[in-house]
Chains A and B, each alone.
Chain A
Amino acid sequence: MCVAAPMKVVEVGEYSCVAEIDGVRKSASIIALEEVKVGDYIMVHAGLAISKLDPASAEETLRLMREIVATEKRNDEIH
């Protein structure tokens, strides 16, 4: 289950924040996160920020996806 959208934090309060995705803003509870700053990307599910999204890891994931399978195979053969 669990629809959640990556949203960018635009305002931070004590218990909640306002987060935005393409101009659509909604408030989210941040009591389950250690530290939240404006500009962070958070995953919001049913009004709760359940996790932060790490931009460097997102880039790394895309890089892994773009890797050429044949190259990986060749590497396997060398190992």
Chain B
Amino acid sequence: MRDDMILLGHGSGGQMTHDLVNKVILPLIHEGREAPEQEDSTPLTLPTGEIRFTTDSYVVDPIIFPGGDIGDLAVNGTINDLAMGGAVPFALSLGFILEEGLLMDDFTKVLRSIGRAAREAGIQVACGDTKVVPRGRGDKIFINTSGVGLARNGLRPGSAAVRPGDRLIINGTVGDHGVTIMSMREGLKFESPVKSDTAALHTLVDALVKAGVEIRAMRDPTRGGLATVAVEIAEASGVHIRLDETAIPVNKHVAAACEILGLDPLMVANEGKMVLVTPERDAKKALDVMRSHPLGRDAAMIGEALETDGRAKVTLTSYAGGARMVNKLPGELLPRIC
């Protein structure tokens, strides 16, 4: 009989753990492909040269939401961290911390989407680990993923490399993921057609590289949103970034939800967006490349870097012709009534 929920015994290291790993986790993640040997560590043969290495942990409530779940979020998020560094994703690890009582159906759904996301991205899940904590000591499922990517020769994008005159381009609408999660929170719930934008961005980066677009900086604006990433770039590079409010793409449902909750879409999280900074001469080309890629159909040029007046900052030109400062998300993103 298959268990219908995760029990402490699944993390015991004994037979139950063995069965969970071999009968549930590995078949779903490596569906149709050979799983790596189960040893304490996995050998990887990397082509010589520089690699990029990253790690990230995923905690999201709810774990399953319109447009995705914590599984593809974890795979895509780690791929994006590699891709934003200019690397070609190669392999990743998966560490699960499961809460006792997690429904097996939910876990298998998450595993399936991990398998699908990894397969579609052509990245190998090289090693993993599963622990179970007593009920109440975790929140259904936490995932840690570390990723290794192969650095491309000569490509070292960095937030500090932006120069006055550079242009900022985003590959689509902002705020979709954050609004999706909020719409499901107790006390805030609303109905909307919004879906998470979770996606792996490395093929979009491939397309930009192939087209010969010069990449100064690439960042994925996840938590903290576009506003936070723009300020981080401005501060790292010592420039004034001016964003154009009329150019920033926002899905109308996201805009409406933000209106109701008193939120600024620029501060709301994304999971499949990238901000590209490129010299002015390549901006048009970059925009064309993005718009002909499935993940960049709504790409837009949203701003430019300028000389500072002594202080790195981000401003936003409003459609009314006014201007304001853009700040990092100060803390938690909270709905407001005033």
Taking beta carbons and an 8 Å cutoff, which residues of A are in contact with B?
1-3, 5, 7, 21-26, 44-46
The A contact surface, by secondary structure, is: strand
- A contact residues around B191 at 8 Å (CB): 24-26
- A49 and B193 CA atoms in complex are apart in Å by 23
- B contact residues around A5 at 8 Å (CB): 256, 259-260
Tell which of A21, A24, A44 has the most Cβ of chain B within 10 Å: A24
| Mask of B166-192 contacts with A, CB within 8 angstroms, 1/0 | 000000000000000000000000111
- A21 and B190 CA atoms in complex are apart in Å by 11
- Tell whether, in the assembled complex, residue A46 and residue B259 are in contact, meaning their CB atoms are under 8 Å apart: no
- A contact residues around B255 at 8 Å (CB): 22
- Tell whether, in the assembled complex, residue B338 and residue A1 are in contact, meaning their CB atoms are under 8 Å apart: yes
Q: A24-B190, A25-B190 are in contact. Are A2 and B337 (CB under 8 A)?
A: yes
- A3 and B258 CA atoms in complex are apart in Å by 11
- A contact residues around B257 at 8 Å (CB): 24
- Tell whether, in the assembled complex, residue B337 and residue A21 are in contact, meaning their CB atoms are under 8 Å apart: no
- Tell whether, in the assembled complex, residue B337 and residue A22 are in contact, meaning their CB atoms are under 8 Å apart: no
Interface size range of chain B in the complex: 10 to 19
B311 on the A face (CB < 8 A): no
22 contacts between A and B (CB under 8 A): A1-B337, A2-B338, A3-B260, A3-B337, A3-B338, A5-B256, A5-B260, A21-B256, A21-B259, A23-B192, A23-B256, A24-B192, A24-B194, A24-B253, A24-B256, A24-B260, A25-B190, A25-B191, A25-B192, A26-B191, A26-B260, A45-B337
B252 on the A face (CB < 8 A): yes
- Tell whether, in the assembled complex, residue B256 and residue A3 are in contact, meaning their CB atoms are under 8 Å apart: no
- Tell whether, in the assembled complex, residue A3 and residue B190 are in contact, meaning their CB atoms are under 8 Å apart: no
- B contact residues around A44 at 8 Å (CB): 260
| Nearest B residue to A1, CB-CB | B338
- A contact residues around B256 at 8 Å (CB): 5, 21-24
B9 on the A face (CB < 8 A): no
- A23 and B256 CA atoms in complex are apart in Å by 8
- A21 and B253 CA atoms in complex are apart in Å by 8
Interface residues of B in 21-45 (CB under 8 A from A): none
B122 on the A face (CB < 8 A): no
- A contact residues around B190 at 8 Å (CB): 24-26
Least Cβ distance of A66 to chain B in Å? 15
Least Cβ distance of A41 to chain B in Å? 14
| Nearest A residue to B261, CB-CB | A3
- A45 and B337 CA atoms in complex are apart in Å by 7
B138 on the A face (CB < 8 A): no
Interface residues of B in 253-293 (CB under 8 A from A): 253, 255-257, 259-260, 262
Q: A3-B337, A46-B337 are in contact. Are A22 and B252 (CB under 8 A)?
A: yes
Least Cβ distance of B48 to chain A in Å? 52
Q: Which of B260, B262, B338 contacts A21 (CB 8 A)?
A: B260
- A contact residues around B2 at 8 Å (CB): none
Tell which of B190, B257, B260, B336 has the most Cβ of chain A within 10 Å: B260
